[in-house]
Amino acid sequence: MGALVFDVTNKTRTAGVRGHTNAQANRLCDEDRAVHNWYRFVLSFPPHLVRDYIRRFGLDSQDRVLDPFCGTGTTLVECRKQGIPSVGIEANPVAWFASRVKVDWTPDPDGLAAHAGKVAELACSALRRDGIDERPPLWRSDSRPTGTLRSLPEESRRLLLANSISPLPLHKVLTLVDCLNQSRDDRYNAHELLALAKAVVFSISNLNFGPEVGVGPIKEDAVVVQTWLDEVCAMTEDLRLIQPPSDVPAEARRADSRQMLDTLPPHSVTAVITSPPYPNEKDYTRTTRLESVLLGFIRTKSDLVALKHMLVRSNTRNVYKGDDDDRWVQSHKQIQEIASAIEKRRIELGKTSGFERMYARVTRLYFGGMARHLADLRTLLRPGAHLAYVVGDQASYLRIMIRTGQILSDIARSLGYQVEGLDLFRTRLATATKEQLREEVLVLRWPG
């Protein structure tokens, strides 16, 4: 087959360009790619928006910023770059893991690169024994796999979107995971696994995002080991370049954002910068399902159900019989009117599926869950704390308009917050109605 040479040099990475057009407002700028790009949701809000509110709120090293829906860590990473202590809360285990890794800048870049190179050699040796040539296509022989390809346990496999990853790339990924476990070095393991999560989702799998996750053209094969190694090399490049301020605390905690009283000390937060889920049919657990299963964060259906129970009820796929967050907004006239309008439209259109029957209920549960979150949050805030919530209008439920920012501002005001404004961040085209929907930043202040 010939020797396989691993390229562990720094990579030149293409970048989005920051601009002022609506399409560019949410893009990752070239100067922001370091660390933020280690693993990132497709529709994550941008680091420059976090910086805008850091400046507006006048935050510095004496403050502590909370992101109670921290996702993949945009707020935490940006605060650490700016020398501001921060803490994030996230229920999704892969997103929590990504946030935790992205604020850990302790690995020695040379050591990380060297260890990853050894793992890569080990993985390719294992694949060669299976009759698999992992070199790029132009260099490969016509060898074919010998024996049965490895796969996931049946219960884990059923959790995935059909055809989300092809059999041969899956075999390679599972082999690489085994090699990472065999050669585990705790100084580097988390970063190597996060690099694999990104490589799987964006290069190795058949997934695409538009903006919901789906399955695109089927890749019968994919280069796995070198693709993973390229992502590790991007990390080492960033670790060489960034100069973290000394002793800046940054951490991510896995918890339910509606139950935070035992997560942080009272009166310990001076600012909140976050983007909660919106009330729509986007199942956020599907977005991370493949990497959640491959890295072992979710193995069974009961694992998935347990995760969904920890989330704000923003879509019908995580609504359960015993949910009662709607009690928090049972006297909110506008929410009840919107829910009634959705149910009336459903009946008029003759929509009878189980999910469609839950549209009105999930609307009440979503805003009730956000009210519960804001109520709990009050205990954690210092007097005078500032808050910024990136939220978006929605029309996913039978085209009934939901002005998310405006409704959340009403809820916040009823809980004692001062509403300082709804800043327009951008507009986006609604798939169903072809209308431009507002994405806004709800700015609040806690008077204490």
Which tens digit of pLDDT belongs to each residue from 94-109?
A: 999 999 999 999 999 9
pLDDT at 43 over 60: yes
Residue 369 to residue 214: CA distance in whole angstroms: 28
Q: Evaluate if residue 143 carries a pLDDT over 90.
A: no
CB 436 within 8 A of CB 370: no
Q: What is the pTM of this model?
A: 0.91
Give the C-alpha distances (Å, rounded to integers) separating 2 from 124, 228, 286. Answer: 12, 21, 40
Q: Could you tell me the CA-to-CA distances from 237 to 107, 112, 191, 250, 394 in Å, in that order?
A: 12, 11, 13, 21, 39
Q: What is the pLDDT of residues 145-203, one digit of tens each?
A: 777 899 999 999 999 999 999 999 999 999 999 999 999 999 999 999 999 999 999 99
Alpha-carbon Rg for the chain in angstroms: 23
Over residues 61-70, the pLDDT tens digits come to 999 999 999 9
Instruction: At 38, list the tokens.
Output: 């280690």
In the chain, the amino acid numbered 379 is T
Beta pairing class for 207-209 and 213-215:
antiparallel
Residue 269 predicted with pLDDT over 70 = yes
**CA atoms of 361 and 357, how far apart (whole Å):** 8
| Token pair 């219960």 in the structure block, residue | 155
Question: What's the whole-number average pLDDT of the chain?
Answer: 90
pLDDT value at 432 more than 70: no
How large a percentage of the chain has pLDDT more than 90? Answer: 81
Q: Where do the domains of the chain lie, and which CATH numbers do they carry?
A: 40-93+248-446 (3.40.50.150), 109-241 (no CATH)
pLDDT at 242: 87
Residue 428 has pLDDT above 90, yes or no: no
Helix 167-182 with 189-199: angle, nearest 10 deg: 170
Average of pLDDT values for 41-54? 90
